[in-house]
Amino acid sequence: MTNTTEFRLPQLADSVTSVRLSLWLKQIGDRVETGEPIVEVETDKTNVELEAPVSGVMQAIHVAAGTDGLEVGTVLAVIAAASAVDTAEPASAPEFTPESTPESTHAGAPAASRSGAPVERTSAPDEVLAVASPETLNRLDEGDPAVSGGAAASATPLARRMVAVAGLTLGEIAGTGPDGRITKQDVDCRLAGRTTMSPPAEDAAPGPPRAPTVGPIGGGIPGPSSGPFHDEELSALRRVTATRMQQSKQTVPHFYLRIECAADAALALLASAKQHRPERAPTLTDLVIRASAFALRKVPRANSAWVDGRVRLFEQADISVAVNTPAGLIAPIVRAADRKNLAAIATETRGLVARARDGQLRPDEYAGGTFTISNLGMYGVESLYAIVNPPQSCILGVGAVISRPVVVGREVRVGQVMACTLSADHRVIDGVVGAELLAAIRDHLEQPGLMMV
């Protein structure tokens, strides 16, 4: 009996229920060592490399790259002991071929084989699918040179069907699979270069004119642009962010409060810190985190969340900081920020931001949080009215520091002013609590010495 090990999707975190398989780092026939990364998966917040549980050779891959909705325990691959592979013929790569028809597969849902394993689906539009007859597909499966481009090109069955559907030939496509085999990804790349449908042949019989699309009151609805375009697939992080933000705007009764803070003293403190320790100097965001933590300690009602129809009050300020990454927006957390000095906050924030942009955050570094800060001041944005990050009750939008005339006593001077906007859930706090919180944040930013004790 061949000595093999099934490589299953492990439990990554309690909050992670499903993942997307992004990339195989090893292919069938490759040698793997225990603890060596062999596949990359994408959770709703970050990318994670999964390691081989045993040493051996990749014998089979059961889930294709790009498959979404994978649950814990799914068999991803099979690893055979090297001794068994040396005497056995290597297994060929499984073919990911659609088994269901458009009538049996819901649009937008991942197709599945009869055995239940996820399979690839083509993304060709319905108009293109309609021009490929069953005879054409059968000729393609049989390797008809007229369809394959005059040579018995090596391609997966799915790639062959996609080529026929799109009206291409295999000879037009460069394969990147094993031994130059053409895969679905190769066909996708070729199709991405197309911007419009090919015009009909001159001797083709013209079809009936397409009726214009009209709205409920008879007015014409403009169709999609005829110019060049491409569709971008959302990362898991962007999909989750889109869903949560839509849910927040639809279900959370937002209200907004705005206050302006004199930033002269804060900027002077940061400049002094940078002069003495340039490599470890805090940023304005670090100072806002510190000020918010102190303010939440003073106004504990704002350090809260809406949970199952009740208000939950937290006993420490876990500050989430919105960070833009190539995969989307994520908010790593400075835990117990109200118990840390400015230097500790600056060091921790620097590390969290770096790991966030590298996609290396652990789930415990972004799950939770009691209050969120989103700072767009570095982009010149003067005011930011952010969307509440549920179940939290508040999010603080921080704008740019700008120079403007300010009145000091009986004099008008040029001062540095920064706008802070609070977005809040009215189910949890009211306007007075929000105003008290903003006033406390302003007091600490305008008198940063209060945060040094």
Tell me the CATH number at 262: 3.30.559.10
Number of structural domains the chain divides into: 3
Under 8 Å between Cβ of 297 and 436: no
pLDDT in tens, 330-340: 999 999 999 99
Same domain, 34 and 161: no
Same domain, 174 and 316: no
What's the pLDDT at 135?
Answer: 43
- Tokens, residue 426: 């009215």
Q: Percentage of the chain with pLDDT > 70?
A: 74
* 82 CB neighbour count, 10 Å cutoff: 13
Please report which confidence band the pLDDT of residue 62 belongs to, taking 50, 70 and 90 as the band edges.
very high
Domain that holds residue 169: 126-192
Same domain, 360 and 308: yes
Name the CA dihedral angle for 126, 132, 134, 140, rounded to a multiple of 10 degrees. Answer: -130
What's the pLDDT at 236?
Answer: 78
Does 197 reside within a domain?
no
Q: Which of 177, 192, 207 marks a domain boundary?
A: 192
C-alpha to C-alpha distance for 187 and 432, rounded to whole angstroms: 59
Give the least confident one: 26-35, 116-125, 172-181. Answer: 116-125
Same domain, 287 and 410: yes
Same domain, 357 and 423: yes
C-alpha to C-alpha distance for 370 and 307, rounded to whole angstroms: 12
C-alpha to C-alpha distance for 28 and 75, rounded to whole angstroms: 15
Same domain, 142 and 67: no
Same domain, 59 and 138: no
What's the pLDDT at 432?
Answer: 97
Same domain, 273 and 411: yes
Catalytic residues: 426
Instruction: Assess whether pLDDT exceeds 50 at residue 197.
Output: no
- Which range scores top for mean pLDDT: 134-138, 227-231, 445-449? 445-449
Helix 264-276 crosses helix 431-446 at what angle (to 10 degrees)?
50
Same domain, 288 and 360: yes
Task: Give this prediction's pTM.
Answer: 0.57
The CATH code of the domain that includes 17 is 2.40.50.100
Mean per-residue pLDDT, 192-208? 47
Same domain, 298 and 422: yes
C-alpha to C-alpha distance for 401 and 445, rounded to whole angstroms: 12
pLDDT in tens, 95-133: 443 333 333 333 333 333 333 344 333 333 333 333 344
Same domain, 177 and 279: no
